[in-house]
Amino acid sequence: MRVAVIGAGVIGLSTAQSIYEQYHSIISPLTIEVYADRFTPLTTSDGAAGFWQPYLYDNGNIQETKWNKETFDYLLSCLSSPESVKMGVFLQSGYNLCTEPAPDPSFKDIVLGFRQLTERELQMFPGYNYGWFNTALMVEGKTYLPWLMEWLQERGVKFYQRKIESFKELAETGADVIMNCTGMRSGELQPDPELKPGRGQIVKVDAPWLKHWILTHDFTAGTYNSPYIIPGSRLVTVGGVFQLGNWSEENNSTDHKNIWESACQLEPSLKHARIVEDWSGLRPSRSKVRLEREAIQSGATTIEVVHNYGHGGFGLTIHRGCAQEAARLFGQIAEQKGKGPKARL
């Protein structure tokens, strides 16, 4: 059975991994192929800070909170393995700061040691009068994606660098199932009025003295439109903006100036940091993740597609839970085609 995964960001690669883990010993033969026009280090996942935290509130979308938790628990379990350093996974604590009192976030029972900030802690952050402290995880795309690719290559997964123009193109070359993990490019394969770019721009700096992440939340400005500072294993990521509908992947000097000035106000020691690079990327924003099966008619043939896209600014945060679910949907299709586990009994 042949499965073609389109997209080689964290969603595509982890989906290929979950399919292999769940089915390689059950479906024989099983050929997994990954097609993409951009591979690491040029994907959106590579530019992301790699900090595990979804948006503060799931707005009743408890399925996404479940996938977020599955991802956190999976990454946490990886910490007991020496492999975690090769994966780019490590623990990191920090502060969520609000300009006004707010309900507890949807992820409060997922992270470690969640608590409200004390008066003394808030005094360190003028202009913020409420917030939380917790320990979460970092999973850095620039390290994690090469690790995933190597993991897949060792198990015979094949990679093809080319832009896929249609699902039909892959079905015609013999793919039994197509996994659509194309993020922001999904609209080119199938129109989706709900999918919009949420442009982000960040500044990566050398500031090894910063040890805690700081995310600010200004409920009038909206998600990711107020400063955040996220120390990584080597560099510190400073943001941020969330510009819905802006397709530009070019760095913008006005955005840079605003991001930098706001961040220096929040953490004055940044004035002594060496700026290493600016980066811009498009978050695939949607009211909710699209994770579902679809049978697409193309002439006389039916193309089986599993969509897994629209993860906004939290792809690394939710990837594993979504990959496991996408693999389960793949298994359903395999079973119906008579190629699944039951077919071998």
Percentage with pLDDT > 70 across the chain: 98
Would you state the pLDDT for residue 299?
84
Would you state the pLDDT for residue 298?
87
User: With bands split at pLDDT 50, 70 and 90, how would you rate the model's confidence at 222?
Assistant: confident
Query: What's the maximum distance between 2 C-alpha atoms anywhere in the chain?
Result: 69
Q: Express each pLDDT in 42-58 by its tens digit.
A: 999 999 999 999 999 99
- For residue 63, give every residue at least 6 positions away whose Cβ sits within 8 Å of its Cβ, in sequence order, or none: none
- Mark out the alpha helices in the chain (DSSP H runs): 10-23, 44-47, 62-78, 84-87, 119-123, 141-154, 167-172, 186-189, 253-266, 315-336
User: With bands split at pLDDT 50, 70 and 90, how would you rate the model's confidence at 341?
Assistant: low
Q: What is the mean pLDDT of residues 261-288?
A: 97
Residue recorded with tokens 């089915």:
23
Residue 303's alpha-carbon distances to 28, 100, 168, 306, in angstroms, are 21, 50, 7, 10
Q: Express each pLDDT in 307-337 by its tens digit.
A: 999 999 999 999 999 999 999 999 999 999 8
Residue 278 has pLDDT above 90, yes or no: yes
CB 125 within 8 A of CB 226: no
Q: Express each pLDDT in 76-121 by its tens digit.
A: 999 999 999 999 999 999 999 999 999 999 999 999 999 999 999 9
Cα gap 122→133, rounded to integer Å: 11
Quote the pTM value.
0.96
